[in-house]
Structure formats: C-alpha cells, structure tokens
A and B are shown apart, each in its own frame.
Chain A
Amino acid sequence: MEKEAEVQSLTDILAKFTAYIGKRLPTDVKDKQAELRAKETNPMAIEIFDVMAENQDAADKLDRPSCQDTGVIQYFIQAGSSFPLLGELESILEGATIGATKIGPLRHNAVEAFVEKNTGTNTGSKIPWLDWEILPGKDHVIIDVYMAGGGCTLPGASTVLMPGQGYEGVAEFVLDVMTSRGLNACPPLLVGVGVSTSAETAARLSKKAILKPVTARNTNEQAALLEELLAEGINDLGIGPQGLTGDNTVMGVNIEWSARHPSTIGVAVSTGCWAHRRGQIKINADLSYEIISHQDVKL
C-alpha cells in the first residue's frame, strides 16, 4: 500500500473502533456488572441494575451510543519505536475522532476554552488528548481509547500529602472523593488511584489505573492490600448504584504508583462510571489489528 492509502485505512479502523466502544462495554466491565447485580440485595439498587442492563441491550440492538455523553476522546498510546506510521499517528487519531463523531454519532463535546465555542467535531486545541509511551524496538502500537464523560470526570482530584499523613491520608483522600462528588458520578465506579511524587504525576497514573481491567490486582502486595481495603471500605459506605444506596458502589479499585520524593506523597483519584467506555486495540506493522478489550467485534 502507498503511505496515503495506509493512513486512510488506519484512520477508518480507528474511527470505527472509537464509535464502537461508545455502544458496547468492554467484556470485563460487562461481566463485573452481571456479578454485582447477582450479589445485590437492595431493591432500589436491583431496579437500577436492571434498567442499566436493559439500556445496554437496547444500545446494542439499535446500534446507538449507550450513554449520550460520549465524552472528550482520549487516546493512550503505547507506540513501538519502529511502528511504520509513528509520525502520522497524531493526525490519524484526529481523523479517527472526526470520523467516529459522524459514525456514532457522538455528541459534540469539545468546547474551545476561552473562545467558549463548541467546535462541533470533537476536535480542538490538544483534543483528542493523546498520552504517549514508547515501546523500544517494537513495530506495533497498542491504543487505549477512553470516552471521558463529564459526570465521571467531575470527581477527579489530586493533591500532595506530607509523609506524616501516610497511606492513611491516601485512604482518607479517596473516601472523601467518594462521599462528595463520587456519588453523583454514576456508581458502581471503577476507582483509579495514583500514588506518586507530585500532583500531576499522581493524576496521570490515576487515569492509567482506570484503563486496567476491573479485575486487575496490583503486583505489589501492599498496594494490592490497599486496593482491596478501599474497595471493601467504599462498598461498606452503602452508596450503591446511582448513589441511591446499595451493597455495591465500586466495580474495583486500581492503583498505579511510582517512586516519590522523600518529603511528598502525591495522590490522585480518577473515576470511571458504570458505563466505562474504554477499548484496547493492537495495530501491527502490516496494519492488521486485534481488539483486546471486547470479544467478537466486527468493525
């Protein structure tokens, strides 16, 4: 293929995939919700879980975005340093966003700051948002697409604690987010926690944490313990689906972390709503692809 044709072909694939993930939840999220519904004992929560399931069936059958807020489009890219279209990827992803907006159709969610006008295309200054990591020597890319809706973006918070506050302070920070804005963010939530050195490093890691599967368990035993304690603790608050009480408030708690300055503990929270619209796709050097997040997909 000529390079121009290759760019067009990859733009089409990624536009279709971006539109697709707005209509159908990833397999791990779907399975988790069925599990939570089966465990639930609160009648109001059961009613809400059932409307949620009905909605996903209707979205699938009618081929429509399951939630009207299809978010600001964010792409998290793990890019092989030898991927043939590395230099073209940024413009390909912009084209994919414009394409997905028509195919979905997606809601127009890019408002230029200060100009205060909706662009109508879901693209704008630095949007779609791109986050890059390099895979040295590899010739493929792995792209996570995330639709950052307003409701579950609102609880986002980041701060820097003093070491004296310890991991006890981390837990308090997370719980405070849950009992304030968290309960309006469409629980059951996937809660991402970043533990790092500063406000912005923790914030980025907290977002990376909600891109991991809902069943992920930290490889560090102490971090895994904190994940479990937070999940159990948040469920014990009894917030429930839609914040209207219930046994199940989280789909999971995932922590991502880095080393930190001895004088600081950066901590951040990002929340993913029950309609957690993310997708992961691997693109090989020959532009063949594999969808990792969803089973049995036809683009």
Chain B
Amino acid sequence: MKKVLKTPISIEDLEELKAGDIVYLDGTLITCRDVAHRRLIEYGQELPVDLVGGAIFHAGPIVREKDDGSYEMVSIGPTTSMRMEKFEREFIKKTGVRLIIGKGGMGPETAAGCAENKAVHAVFPGGCAVVAATKVEAIEGAEWKDLGMPETLWINRVKGFGPLIISIDTHGNNLFETNKKTYNERKSSVLERISEQVKFIK
C-alpha cells in the first residue's frame, strides 16, 4: 500500500521511515530554493510562510499567469538539493519544516539537521516536471515575487505527490552518502583497468 504523508506532518509520521522508502504527499507544498534560504539564514529575514510541520520543494517551476490573475502550474520538477546544503541544517531548526523534497543527495550538515529536529529529505525523480505538475491541484499563493519566477515561494496544494524516495531519514541515515562511498571504492579499480589501455603517449 502507498504510504501517504499529510501536512501538517508530525514527528510520529516520520519516525518509522527509512532511507530508501517511497512515500507520497497530500497537502501544502511550498517551493523554496537558493535565495529564500539565503534571505532567512544569512540576512535573518523572516519567511512570509509558516513551515511548522510543513513541506518544502527545492524547485523553480514554470507558472502561467492567467487573465484573471490566478496561476496555472505548467511544469515543476526538483532542482539540485545540494546547493542548499550550506543553509539547510539551520533552516530546519528555524522553520520547523518536516519534509524537504529535491533532487540528488544532501550532505552531512542536512543529515545532522534531520536527526536533531526530526525531518526527512526525499527525492522526486529529476526532469519529471509534467508528472509533478499534474499532482498540483492549485496554486494557493505566491510570496517574494520580486525574486522572479524560479525563486518565488509558490504555495501549492498537492495530492498524491510522488514518488518521493527518502534519501535522509530522521535517524540521520543518508542514502546518497552511503552510495557515494561504494561508487568511490569502485572507482580505483575502474580507473586502473582504463589506464592500462590508454597509454597513448609513448
């Protein structure tokens, strides 16, 4: 059966989850990326949205503004989460966010933040932005529009948003960091094999 998280998300909802599990989301999902993180952490500006028990999406969507001033979600896939690594531990602590969705892994600081304040990071398959857009029922608001289309905080109501692959769980397990160790271990033997055959300078 599909595991579905609903906002507001409680600590109990997340405790059982393990890195590698797949979940889906119902509720409110707010886009939040580079400059919003920088404004909160480096400049101490208060976020114009309440994220306690909430979910953020590292994403910069394509949004169409309709004639009546409302918005249509056209295309919304995840962006590279690692860019937010510098800020995320502090961000989790300050906002009370429980679910961070993005692309690719995040590092040890985020993993520590997830363990300290009980949050998870999950991956939505990158590039699958139309699948994601069809899970957005409505755009309910937009904040910090001065940042331009990609960086605006878009407040989305989502249903069955996923698949979301848990990459960092509340126990601080980090799927990508674990996998990276394996990739790096394999690298030396691969390199040795290639090197033997490319001694073109003689």
Q: Is the beta-carbon distance between A183 and B183 smaller than 8 angstroms?
A: yes
Chain A residue nearest to B199 in the complex (CB): A166
Given A54-B131, A109-B150, A186-B103, A239-B62 contact (CB < 8 Å): no
In the complex, B172 has a CB within 8 A of chain A:
no
Chain B residue nearest to A153 in the complex (CB): B80
Q: Tell me which of B22, B82, B129, B191 contacts A233 (CB under 8 A).
A: B191
- The residues of A that contact B165 with a CB separation of less than 8 Å are 44, 244
Chain B interface mostly: mixed
In the complex, B66 has a CB within 8 A of chain A:
no
Q: Is the beta-carbon distance between A51 and B131 smaller than 8 angstroms?
A: yes
Interface residues on B, range: 35 or more
Given A59-B130, A120-B148, A183-B180, A175-B197 contact (CB < 8 Å): no
Q: Is the beta-carbon distance between A104 and B190 smaller than 8 angstroms?
A: no
CB-CB contacts below 8 Å: A217-241 with B: 222, 225-226, 229-230, 233-234, 236-239, 241
In the complex, A8 has a CB within 8 A of chain B:
no
Chain A residue nearest to B61 in the complex (CB): A68
Distance, CA A226 to CA B199, complexed state (A): 11
- The residues of A that contact B81 with a CB separation of less than 8 Å are 184
Cβ distance B124 to chain A, nearest Cβ, rounded Å: 9
- The residues of B that contact A234 with a CB separation of less than 8 Å are 190
Q: Tell me which of A107, A118, A154, A242 contacts B125 (CB under 8 A).
A: A242
Q: Tell me which of B61, B74, B105 contacts A184 (CB under 8 A).
A: B105
Q: Is the beta-carbon distance between B62 and A70 smaller than 8 angstroms?
A: yes
- The residues of A that contact B191 with a CB separation of less than 8 Å are 168, 171-172, 175, 233
In the complex, A274 has a CB within 8 A of chain B:
yes
Residue-wise, chain A 53-64 has the 8 Å CB interface mask toward B (1 for contact) of 011001100101
Q: Tell me which of A107, A183, A186 contacts B149 (CB under 8 A).
A: A107
Q: Is the beta-carbon distance between B80 and A151 smaller than 8 angstroms?
A: yes
Given A171-B195, A184-B80, A67-B61 contact (CB < 8 Å): no
Residue-wise, chain B 132-158 has the 8 Å CB interface mask toward A (1 for contact) of 011000000000000111110000000
Q: Tell me which of A51, A58, A184 contacts B103 (CB under 8 A).
A: A184
Cβ distance A100 to chain B, nearest Cβ, rounded Å: 12
Given A108-B149, A179-B184, A230-B194, A68-B125 contact (CB < 8 Å): no
Distance, CA A230 to CA B195, complexed state (A): 10
Residue-wise, chain B 12-36 has the 8 Å CB interface mask toward A (1 for contact) of 0000000010100000000000000
Q: Tell me which of B20, B82, B129, B183 contacts A239 (CB under 8 A).
A: B183
Number of A-B contacts (CB under 8 A): 186
Cβ distance B130 to chain A, nearest Cβ, rounded Å: 4
In the complex, A199 has a CB within 8 A of chain B:
no
**Total number of A residues with any Cβ neighbor in B under 8 Å:** 64
Q: Most chain-B CB neighbours within 10 Å: which of A109, A167, A230?
A: A167
Q: Is the beta-carbon distance between B179 and A52 smaller than 8 angstroms?
A: no
Cβ distance B67 to chain A, nearest Cβ, rounded Å: 14
Q: Most chain-B CB neighbours within 10 Å: which of A44, A233, A274?
A: A233
In the complex, A47 has a CB within 8 A of chain B:
yes
Given A118-B150, A166-B198, A175-B190, A244-B131 contact (CB < 8 Å): no
Distance, CA A242 to CA B197, complexed state (A): 30
In the complex, A283 has a CB within 8 A of chain B:
no
Q: Is the beta-carbon distance between A108 and B148 smaller than 8 angstroms?
A: yes
- The residues of A that contact B61 with a CB separation of less than 8 Å are 68, 107
In the complex, B104 has a CB within 8 A of chain A:
yes
Distance, CA A208 to CA B129, complexed state (A): 27
Q: Is the beta-carbon distance between B183 and A47 smaller than 8 angstroms?
A: no
Residue-wise, chain A 236-253 has the 8 Å CB interface mask toward B (1 for contact) of 111101111100000000
Enumerate 22 A-B pairs (CB-CB under 8 Å) in ascending A order: A51-B125, A59-B129, A59-B130, A64-B74, A68-B74, A68-B75, A108-B148, A108-B149, A111-B148, A150-B79, A151-B79, A166-B199, A167-B199, A167-B200, A175-B187, A175-B191, A184-B104, A226-B198, A237-B186, A237-B190, A243-B179, A244-B179
The 6 closest A-B pairs by CB, nearest first: A184-B104, A118-B148, A275-B127, A167-B198, A55-B128, A168-B195
- New A-B pairs, 7, CB < 8 Å, besides A67-B127, A104-B62, A243-B176: A44-B165, A68-B77, A118-B150, A168-B195, A225-B197, A229-B194, A233-B190
Task: Using CB atoms and an 8 Å cutoff, list the residues of chain B in contact with chain A.
Answer: 20, 22, 59-62, 64, 74-77, 79-82, 103-105, 123, 125-131, 133-134, 147-151, 163, 165, 175-176, 179-180, 182-184, 186-187, 190-191, 193-195, 197-201
